[in-house]
Structure 1
Amino acid sequence: MTSASQQPAFSASLDGAHTMSLDNYIFPTDRLKTSLSDPTKTPLVLVSCGSFSPPTNLHLRMFEEAADFCEFETNYEVLGGFFSPVGDAYKKAGLAPAQHRINMTRIAVQDSSKWIGVDPWEPLHKEYLPTVKVLDHFDHELNNVLGGAQTADGEKKRIHVALLAGADLIQTMSAPGLWAQEDLNRILGHYGAFILERSGTDIDDALLTLQQFRDNIRVIPQLIQNDVSSTKIRLFRKRGKSIRYYIPDKVVEYIYEHNLYVDDDKKQAGKGKEKAASDMSSSAVATT
């Protein structure tokens, strides 16, 4: 954990050759498509915020499910997807240090995907950042800095940014007082969300409460049920049980190498946030 006067700095890549801080931060574009294949479609980038402690196969599968849904059910063309791990200021039980979570998400996508990346901007802040600020960051980088997506005739189209999350997120959004209303208005009203159905989670009541945003909340059916969660992985580790085949193999090896999650019960349970609304809005995937 960094001190109040110290900004976090992390390895810029898995090889650890360079260190990245907010001062030298560069938005990761190596897996981002910058041009549209179909000029009639709206360019889209999916952003998944959460703890990812550790990332699971379900976290990865969420992106694939969303990409298929966009291709067959919408007029969006997915240009890229990003994990945005929450910063250390989240102070949640079971939260491994940010550098480990950045490394694990990088490892998870390194050989398994050509279009999912990891953005360290959020955890590079020493203070907690609500989800709405993270989405605003992506919107700024993709449209103000990069200038949007290019069509075959040279036209530039604005890239739409959307939140990608599990169904349990929508349940927290519908609970009174957990999210600031102004954050919900911008997240669901402006950006919108792609929500993957989750085993044992009924989102119908939540969607009724959020009816004003219904057109911007797209629910993706989970055709093959999967209830793997980071919480269960940490519990298995604490009990000395195998975690293989629930999460990517190389992430398993990283966890064993760095002896992560064996003392999960000793971590502080308090979140350390001033407001519950800000606290909850950081965890876009409740499989934490």
Structure 2
Amino acid sequence: MAAADGADTMTLDDYTFPTTRLRRRITSPDRTPLVLIACGSFSPITFLHLRMFEMAADYARFNTNFEVVGAYLSCVGDAYKKTGLVKAEHRINMCSLAIAQSSWISVDPWEALHEEYLETAKVLDHFHHEINEVMGGVETPTGKKQARICLLAGADLIQTMSTPGVWAPKDIEYILKNFGALIVERTGTDIDEALSTLQPYKSNIFVIQQLVQNDISSTKIRLFRRRDMSIRYLVPEPVVNYIEENMLYDEDGAASTGSEKGKGRAMEPNGAASGGG
């Protein structure tokens, strides 16, 4: 599959919400449709990002009353300055290549098309608007039902939410009260300690165990590239080829949108999501 058509020329004026892989109907009237949203840099997307969707779908199927009807990758825009963040068109293209064989995961360029930085709460509002207001929700045997829009992220997200001064309290409350989060455990993160300060929202936070430990990160992929080391089998092969063809991450800051160091997306005080590398 080629990279996303027109990712380098698309604007908000010609944007349309991607619905091809969004299931419009569920057969059980007792289940709640669930749409997973992963926000982040995805610079580049890795197999762990993709596995998070599969782990979340399994968790929802076996442990909740949700039924996954779709999922979206939402890349942060170029206004978000971060070391190693290549231009949005490249990240959208890489994400599109990575999910080419998926039947239910889509890439939504809406966030990345904005010239200004968007908080995660606004991005989740966008998905709620498109799916539940514009489309009217998801069909069930007893009529249309609102889909639950839920943030999908690594455990480091919850850790930053519990750290004073990193997130605006109003954003934490808005996201966890109105949407909730599916959180995948990650090596080196004490999730129990992080959750202890978020008790008011515990019913909307779902923790997913990694039964097969996976410690791949976008940071490590960029490091391997700078050291001229192979990244094959850490990211999808089409993404490897795209990175090589476009000479991305060859050196620190190459083709990046900014050079600020030490700032992950979750470190924005106005509320942004981590987990996208």
The DSSP-based 3-state class of the residue aligned with 1:251 is: helix
**Contact 1:86–1:282 at 8 Å: present in 2 too?**
no
Q: Which amino acid aligns with 2:269?
A: A
Native 8 Å contact 2:159 2:191 kept in 1: yes
The range that moved more, 21-30 or 92-101, is 21-30
Please state whether the residue corresponding to 1:77 is helix, strand or coil.
Answer: strand
The correspondence for 1:86, drawn from 76, 79, 82, is 76
The equivalent residue for 1:269 is: 260
Instruction: Indicate whether 1:212 and 2:195 are aligned.
Output: no
Distance in 2 separating the partners of 1:98 and 1:17: 8
**Which range moved further: 199-208 or 50-59?**
199-208
| 1:255 paired residue number | 243
Q: 1:200, CA displacement in angstroms? A: 1.9
1:161 partnered with 2:149: yes
1:104/1:18 Cα in 2 relative to 1: closer, same or farther (>3 Å)? Answer: closer
CA deviations on 1:103-125 (whole Å, 9 max, x unpaired) are 000000002x1000000000110
* Contact kept in structure 1, 2:121 and 2:175, CA below 8 Å: yes
Q: Secondary structure at the residue paired with 1:264?
A: coil
**Contact preservation (8 Å) 2:38, 2:153:** yes
Letter matched to residue 88 of structure 2: A
- TM score, norm. by length of structure 2: 0.93
Indicate yes or no: 2:55 matched with 1:65.
yes
The alignment's C-alpha RMSD in Å is 1.9
Mapped partners of 2:215, 2:7: distance in 1: 37
Report which stretch shifted further, 126-135 or 32-41: 32-41
Q: Indicate if the aligned counterparts of 2:35 and 2:71 stay in contact, CA closer than 8 A.
A: yes
Give the structure 2 partner of residue 32 of structure 1: 22
**Number of residue equivalences:** 270
Q: In the superposition, relative to structure 1, how do residues 18 and 171 fare at CA in structure 2: closer, same or farther (>3 Å)?
A: closer
Secondary structure at the residue paired with 1:169? helix
**What are the Cα deviations for residues 8-52 of structure 1, in whole angstroms up to 9, with x where unaligned?**
xxxxx6243994211121000010001112121001100000000
* AA matched with 2:42: F
Counterpart residue type for residue 105 of structure 1: C
Which letter maps to 1:204? D
Shift of 1:174: 0.3
Specify the alignment match of 2:181 in structure 1.
Answer: 193
> 2:7 and 2:19 mapped to 1: Cα distance?
19
Q: Deviations over 1:86-139 (max 9, x none)?
A: 00011100001000000000000002x100000000011000001000000000
Q: Is the 8 A contact 2:151 2:180 kept in 1?
A: yes
User: Residue 224 of structure 1 aligns to which amino acid in structure 2?
Assistant: V
- Percent sequence identity is 58
SS of residue in 2 equivalent to 1:64: helix
How far did residue 265 of structure 1 move?
4.4
Which residue in the other structure is 1:108 paired with? 98
Q: 1:74 aligns with which of 51, 64, 70?
A: 64
Match of 2:217 among 229, 233, 249: 229
User: Whole-Å Cα distance in 2 between the matches of residues 49 and 161 of structure 1?
Assistant: 13
Check whether the contact 1:51–1:283 (CA below 8 A) recurs between aligned residues: no
**Structure 2 SS opposite 1:32:** coil
TM-score (norm 1): 0.90
Contact 1:164 1:284 in 2 (8 A): no
Instruction: Provide the secondary structure at the position in 2 that maps to 1:117.
Output: strand
Distance in 2 of aligned mates of 1:168 and 1:251:
25
Structure 2 unmatched ranges of 5 or more: none
Residues 209-264 of structure 1, C-alpha deviations (whole Å, 9 max, x = no match): 11111111000010000000000000000010000000001000000000000122
Counterpart position of 2:274: 284
**One-letter code aligned to 1:76:** F
Divergent runs of 4+, >3 A: 15-19
* Map 1:119-134 → 2, pairs under 5 A: 119-134=108-123
Q: Which moved more, 1:136-145 or 1:256-265?
A: 256-265
The aligned residue for residue 179 of structure 1 is 167
Alignment of 1:47-62 (within 5 A): 47-62=37-52
